[in-house]
């Protein structure tokens, strides 16, 4: 389409249409169609769209006003110009008012004035079409908005109903949950709780609101501090008791704490589980194991003593084959006795019946004693034990025998699993009042999955092969270190070695022990 617009000229005088066509051509209007008969022009208008119609007023077949009125029926947005003589001025003015003619121009016309009016008329047509397009777009957008508003209202109603139903279900679950659910703030003050919690405490709800949760739920080992709360990690508490003042009893509980952020302020939710039955079951189990293992010690010690009499030939000469057999029997009995002793130690720690005998001693000297004790085992595997230290003495306050047990265990495991490795490093690290020990090997290593459960009871260290170990050594080591308020850890990567270690907080004592 011509950017200047498409123009239709209708005049019964061929000279006029030809003159106008040439004038418009000189002005750059290339898309001009002319007719000398208004009837033929109307037929053409039915099939073709124009931006401007220029018509003479006096024509034999139809006057210009009637022609333009009919033309408007086909194309409402088209602009029209009426060419009139001076005598027809009143009719032209009437046409402007009745059918909306853009302009009437008297003959003879001024070419410059004519061109200006033609351009203005084309501009009017363009603006009308753009306005009509925008109106249609607005109508479509308005229709879509109405549909969207209707759908939105239905969606909101549907979602509101779903939320009400979900909230009702959630309230029913919380209200009827067998575990206690408690909401509390950063100051540990209770803000809300469910029926199970109220029953556990044996008090009215209004009496519990605003009370400090950890004055009602306590631990004999330590007091819970609000500084332990974090916004991005969950807390699991064992060995806590809930005080029921109504029955004047303490109920053993386990507590899971999680942070909740509602964009206004942080609060926390605690799920409290009554462990009375579980604790009783564990007590019966552990008592059975303790009794069984304790009763096994006597016959095992008797067997080992008897084998010693045989091996030292106190009961007569022993052949080489007999000696080998009795040595194997003694070794098996000693291993069994070691397992029995370990089980008893684990039981004592879990039952809280082990009391640490803390003294001040040089931990570096103890590490050296442990490496000397395991030197033969390391040499048999062609492994060097190397101690890395920054000073000659580090005195700590701890149970020396228990710490020795942990160091021996970590070193023994490192030697055992240091396949294709010739070095095990022991790093003794002093940091202000804290002491840490790392045992580093370049052995088979552990996967992330194995590391996560390594310090659990009866864990044998790996899923990839069976082990002859009891799976209690590292578990007992964890119990010992945690009894010292320390932490034990492991860092490892499969086939790239491991780093086992422990850290003791506020344990270093700068005062030397003078013997």
Please state, in angstroms and rounded to a whole number, the distance separating the CA atoms of residues 211 and 511: 44
Question: What's the alpha-carbon Rg for the chain, to the nearest Å?
Answer: 50
pLDDT for residue 44: 92
Tens digits of per-residue pLDDT, 86-101? 556 676 677 667 777 8
88, burial (CB in 10 Å: exposed 0-12, middle 13-18, buried 19+): buried
Residues 29 and 43: their CA atoms lie apart, in Å, by: 23
Q: Which of 346, 356, 355 is nearest to 290 (CA)?
A: 346
End-to-end Cα separation, the chain, in angstroms: 112
Q: How confident is the model at residue 307 (pLDDT cuts 50, 70, 90)?
A: confident
The CA distance from 492 to 471, in Å, is: 18
- Determine if the peptide bond prior to 130 is cis (ω within 30°): no
**Residue 195: Cβ-neighbour burial (10 angstroms; 0-12, 13-18, 19+):** middle
**pLDDT tens figures, 383-429:** 889 999 888 889 999 989 889 989 998 998 888 887 666 789 999 99
In angstroms, the CA 302 to CA 308 distance is 10
Q: What's the pLDDT band for 352 if we cut at 50, 70, 90? A: low
* Mean pLDDT score, 282-308: 75
Asked whether residue 35 carries a pLDDT value surpassing 90, the answer given is yes
**Residue 2, helix vs strand vs coil:** coil
Which helix (H) or strand (E) covers residue 175, if one does?
helix 111-176
Average pLDDT over residues 274-286: 79
Q: If pLDDT is split at 50, 70 and 90, which confidence band does 464 have? A: very low
Half-sphere exposure of 255 (CA within 13 A, CB side): 23
Distance, in Å, from the CA atom of 107 to the CA atom of 9, rounded to the nearest integer, reads 15
pLDDT of 467: 44
For range 451-459, the mean pLDDT: 66
Nearest alpha carbon to residue 180 among 287, 256, 128: 256
């Amino acid at each position: 389409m011509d950017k200047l617009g498409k123009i239709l000229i209708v005049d019964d005088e061929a000279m006029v249409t030809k003159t106008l066509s040439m004038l418009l051509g000189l002005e750059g209007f290339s898309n001009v169609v002319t007719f000398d008969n208004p009837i033929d022009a109307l037929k053409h208008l039915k099939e073709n769209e124009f931006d401007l119609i220029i018509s003479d007023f006096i024509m034999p077949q139809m006057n210009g006003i009637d022609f333009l009125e009919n033309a408007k029926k086909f194309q409402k947005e088209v602009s029209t110009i009426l060419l009139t003589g001076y005598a027809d001025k009143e009719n032209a003015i009437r046409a402007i008012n009745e059918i909306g003619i853009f302009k009437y121009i008297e003959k003879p016309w001024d070419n410059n004035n004519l061109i200006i009016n033609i351009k203005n008329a084309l501009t009017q047509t363009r603006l009308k079409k753009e306005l009509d397009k925008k109106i249609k777009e607005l109508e479509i957008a308005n229709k879509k908005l109405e549909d969207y508003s209707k759908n939105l209202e239905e969606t909101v109603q549907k979602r509101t109903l779903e939320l009400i139903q979900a909230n009702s279900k959630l309230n029913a679950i919380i209200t009827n949950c067998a575990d206690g659910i408690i909401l509390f703030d950063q100051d540990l003050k209770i803000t809300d709780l469910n029926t199970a919690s109220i029953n556990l405490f044996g008090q009215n709800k209004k009496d519990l609101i605003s009370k400090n949760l950890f004055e009602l739920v306590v631990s004999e080992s330590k007091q819970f501090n609000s500084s332990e709360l974090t916004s991005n990690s969950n807390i699991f508490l064992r060995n806590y008791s809930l005080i029921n003042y109504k029955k004047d009893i303490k109920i053993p509980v386990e507590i899971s704490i999680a942070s909740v952020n509602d964009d206004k302020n942080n609060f926390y939710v605690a799920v409290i589980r009554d462990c009375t039955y579980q604790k009783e079951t564990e007590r019966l189990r552990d008592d059975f194991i303790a009794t069984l293992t304790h009763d096994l010690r006597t016959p095992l010690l008797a067997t080992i003593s008897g084998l010693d009499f045989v091996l030292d030939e106190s009961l007569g000469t022993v052949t080489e084959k007999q000696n080998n057999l009795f040595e194997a029997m003694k070794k098996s009995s000693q291993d069994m006795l070691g397992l029995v002793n370990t089980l008893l130690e684990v039981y004592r720690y879990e039952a809280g019946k082990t009391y640490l005998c803390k003294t001040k001693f040089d931990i570096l000297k103890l590490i050296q004693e442990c490496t000397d004790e395991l030197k033969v085992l390391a040499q048999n595997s062609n492994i060097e034990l190397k101690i890395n230290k920054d000073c000659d003495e580090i005195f700590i306050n701890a149970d020396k025998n228990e710490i020795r047990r942990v160091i021996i265990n970590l070193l023994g495991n490192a030697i055992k699993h240091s396949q294709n490795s010739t070095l095990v490093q022991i790093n003794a690290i002093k940091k202000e009042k804290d002491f840490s020990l790392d045992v580093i090997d370049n052995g088979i290593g552990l996967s992330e999955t194995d590391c996560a459960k390594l310090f659990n009871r009866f864990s044998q260290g790996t899923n990839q092969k069976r082990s002859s170990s009891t799976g209690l050594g590292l578990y007992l080591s964890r119990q010992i270190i945690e009894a010292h308020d320390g932490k034990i850890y492991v860092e490892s990567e499969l086939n790239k070695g491991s780093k086992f270690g422990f850290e003791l907080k506020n344990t270093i004592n700068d005062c030397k022990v003078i013997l």
